[in-house]
Amino acid sequence: MKSNVKVSKHVLSWKLVKNPDYWNKKSVKLAEIGYQVVKEPNTAYNLYQTGKLDLISLVGTQAKELAKNKDVVHRPLAATEYMQYNQRKGTFKNRNLRLAFSYAINRKQLVNQVMQNGSTVSKGFVPAKFANNPKTGEDFAKEAYVSGTVNYNLKKAKAYYAKALKQLNKSKLTVTILAADDDQTKNVTEFIQSQLQKLPDVKVNVDSIPFTIMLKRAQDGNFEINYTGWSADFADPISFLSMFTSDNSENNGKWSSSAFDSDIENSNTRDANNAKARWNDLISAEKTLAKDQGITSLFQSNGIDLVNPKLKGVIYDRINGHYDYRNAYLVK
């Protein structure tokens, strides 16, 4: 496979070329696929309208305005957007502060007024309609839901915040949210910033940087709050929950709970061959994560694409969000 990459101020582009050594090359109809990463939604839409792009993702007001466009394709995704807190430092080890921040965010406004693309409020870290109880068929997210952990309640937020300040021996707080610099992420973090600053004596800064640099900083623990997301690798709650065991490399905030670790360990060992017991382990782990606000889950992602009606055969995987172009083709 060969690739050519060009970088400009707004666009990162590259090409994927058909591999002549692929075992099933006869089924691959496209000679090459051109990719462009466009950070500005209006630029992407203009490229689509002029026929320079065949598939784009819609976000924010653009998604709402074009929702009835004949080329719209909805892409539900098993992914959760969340805030992780750096608990290497004392401030965010405080559970009351984490609860205050969770209560301060109106997630309904976030999905309805900012995302506007069918994304839904999270019940917890594991998405809805992702996994079902092997005995009862109950949805995991519904069964593991802990009331109050993702609800907007500014009065409670202020009460928990007051407790946190007293415990931290502080009269005010300044925090910075680390996030990627694409337009959609900026819209989300600006909303979160405005919500958190409804708490008295809180100043929130947003550090928007290129995605790859953001990932590196998060991995290095160089952040206070990191706005990020996770999508599943396979259709099992462990694909999400295993991230937050104490020794997992993806646990960038270093939240730690012996009860959570024990539940995950049991699900992988003692109860691995007992579907009911393993399910209960994972439910317990999700509830522990929610009650402690080890992370603050925000919303379950949903995508809306505009797709050239002449583009056929693209397969979308709602579990991991991957697009499979092996059998894709363009009608002439």
Strands ordered across the beta sheet of 32-38: 5-7, 11-17, 32-38
- DSSP summary character for residue 90: S
pLDDT score of 189:
98
pLDDT score of 90:
85
Helix (H, G, I), strand (E, B) or coil at 262: helix
Which positions of the chain have pLDDT values less than 50? 1-8
Neighbour count for residue 291 (Cβ, 10 Å): 15
Give CB contacts under 8 A, 24+ apart, made by 272-275: 275/134, 275/135
Amino acid occupying residue 277 = A
Q: Are 225 and 178 in contact (CB under 8 A)?
A: yes
Beta strands at 202-209 and 225-231: parallel, antiparallel or unpaired: unpaired
pLDDT in tens, 5-63: 444 455 578 899 999 999 999 999 999 999 888 878 889 999 999 999 999 988 778 88
Q: Taking Cα atoms as reference points, which of 141, 144, 145, 146 lies closest to residue 129?
A: 141
Residues whose CB falls within 8 Å of the CB of residue 295, separated by 6 or more in sequence, listed in order: 82, 83, 84, 85, 125, 244, 253, 255, 289
pLDDT in tens, 225-253: 999 999 988 999 999 999 999 999 999 99
Q: Are 297 and 80 in contact (CB under 8 A)?
A: yes
Percent of the chain clearing pLDDT 70 (strictly above): 97
pLDDT score of 62:
86
pLDDT score of 7:
44
Task: Enumerate the H helices of the chain as residue ranges.
Answer: 41-49, 60-65, 95-103, 107-109, 140-144, 154-168, 183-196, 211-219, 238-241, 258-268, 275-292
CA angle 225, 81, 9 (to 5 degrees): 80
pLDDT score of 77:
86
Q: How far apart are the first and last CA of the chain?
A: 25
